[in-house]
Amino acid sequence: MIPDEVIDPVCGMTILKAEAPHQRVHEGSTYYMCSAGCAHRFDLDGDAYATTAKLNLPGWGKTPHPEDVVKHFRRGDGPDSRAP
């Protein structure tokens, strides 16, 4: 990971610290989020997300190209677009 990169503790996306649109300070540590939705989820349960971020799970934050994931969902072929 490049020094200016951080991992969103909610979704696991790797983002640039300087471009992170949302951040929260929790128990003295700053966490950066990629979206308002992730920031809202962090606000609801900061303890859980802060703990998850510290676990350093395999594959966490390893999204090679987050913009490709976003394009995938905008095209309408992500899991949310499937019929129930």
Q: How far does Cα 35 stand from its chain's mean position?
A: 8
Instruction: Tell whether pTM > 0.85.
Output: no
Distance CA(33)–CA(8), nearest Å, equals 5
Band of pLDDT at residue 83, cut at 50, 70 and 90 = very low
- Report the amino acid identity of residue 57: L
Per-residue model confidence as pLDDT tens digits over 7-59: 888 888 888 999 999 999 998 989 999 999 999 999 998 888 887 776 666 56
Give yes or no for residue 74 having a pLDDT over 80: no
Average pLDDT over residues 55-84: 51
